């Protein structure tokens, strides 16, 4: 049995980072109509994953985590995303390499199985993930990692603390903040207001070059990654009709009435 070693205060924190199309890029549908074009497109770390790395690094700085390990499942270039995590303060990284299409073929259950496998192998005490990847908008992976590991989960967090041998977290829910607590090990997912991720400074980018990225090929892991659904087609959003300029507020009111909006 693999033992979680919180009692000896050796806590490894894993954080999952996904390489996605940069949030500022307007994606275009690929010619095969089954995904978006990724060639020559600016790719970056998923913004919620930046928040995950920041959370993990802050725990290390606060002395409650010993090691921060960034994990990414994706093509060779996912190593750039891992380097960013290392420059933000992660200690080492694990790259599970696959050329499966990250926004359609590589589905959340498959990623969750891989991440759960890494968590067991590393005997992690905490797994931090983004609440959602901005390419597939699935919002499934963290929840499924928790399910597969049979760990408690705290999702959509705006605050997180280790207290005693467990955690206390705050979640933004309709009409307020929900405080919850639970034991470790656990899985958490980050919402926008949890923290403000730091920028990787030049000296830290240089230091990160010396940190280790362990690479494994997905096909060498004995994990069933069969797709659970098929993408039938991906289409561009409907074109918006052009707007019109109004003279002043009175004109706006007239136009709104004419359009039946008032």
- Residue 48 as a binder of ligand AMP (CB under 6 A): the answer is yes
Instruction: For 242-255, give one letter per residue: b (16+ CB within 10 A) or e.
Output: eeeeeeeeeeeeee
Q: Is the omega angle on the peptide bond into residue 145 within 30 degrees of 0, that is, cis?
A: no
178: how many CB neighbours lie within 10 A of its CB?
A: 14
How far apart, in whole angstroms, are the C-alpha atoms of residue 261 and residue 168?
Answer: 46
Strand ranges in 17-56 using DSSP code E only, listed in sequence order: 19-21, 43-45
Residue number, 57 or 256, with CB nearest to ligand AMP: 57
Among 21, 49, 69, 119, binds ligand AMP (CB under 6 A): 49
Using CB under 6 A as the binding rule, the residues of this chain from 72 to 101 that contact ligand AMP are 72-74
Residue number, 46 or 87, with CB nearest to ligand AMP: 46
Q: Please identify, among the stretches 139-147, 168-176, 206-214, 232-240, the one whose residues bind ligand AMP according to the rule CB under 6 A.
A: 139-147
For residues 97 to 136, the per-residue mask of contacts with ligand AMP, x marking binding by CB under 6 A and - elsewhere, is -----x---x-x--x-----------------xx-xx--x
Residue nearest to ligand AMP (CB): 130
- Residue 18 as a binder of ligand AMP (CB under 6 A): the answer is yes
- Residue 142 as a binder of ligand AMP (CB under 6 A): the answer is yes
List, in order, residues 6 or more apart from 98 with CB less than 8 Å away.
73, 74, 75, 106, 217, 218, 219
């Amino acid at each position: 049995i693999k033992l979680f070693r919180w009692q000896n205060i050796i806590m490894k924190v894993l954080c999952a980072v996904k390489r996605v199309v940069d949030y500022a890029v307007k994606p275009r549908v690929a010619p095969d109509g089954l995904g978006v074009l990724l060639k020559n497109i600016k790719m970056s770390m998923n913004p919620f994953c930046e928040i995950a790395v920041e959370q993990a690094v802050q725990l290390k700085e606060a002395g409650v985590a010993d090691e921060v390990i960034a994990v990414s499942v994706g093509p060779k270039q996912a190593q750039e995303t891992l380097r960013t995590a290392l420059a933000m303060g992660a200690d080492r990284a694990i790259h599970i390499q696959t050329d499966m299409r990250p926004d359609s073929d590589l589905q959340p259950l498959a990623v969750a199985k891989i991440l759960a496998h890494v968590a067991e192998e590393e005997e992690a005490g905490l797994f931090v993930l983004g609440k959602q990847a901005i390419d597939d908008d699935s919002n499934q992976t963290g929840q499924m990692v928790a399910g597969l590991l049979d760990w408690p989960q705290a999702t959509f967090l705006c605050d997180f603390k280790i207290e005693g041998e467990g955690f206390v977290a705050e979640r933004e829910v309709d009409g307020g903040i929900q405080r919850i607590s639970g034991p470790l090990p656990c899985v958490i997912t980050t919402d926008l207001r949890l923290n403000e991720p730091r920028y990787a400074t030049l000296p830290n980018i240089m230091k990160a070059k010396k940190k280790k990225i362990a690479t494994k090929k997905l096909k060498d892991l004995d994990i069933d990654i069969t797709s659970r659904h098929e993408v039938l087609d991906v289409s561009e959003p409907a074109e918006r009709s052009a707007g019109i300029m109004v003279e002043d507020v009175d004109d706006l009111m007239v136009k709104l009435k004419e359009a039946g909006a008032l």
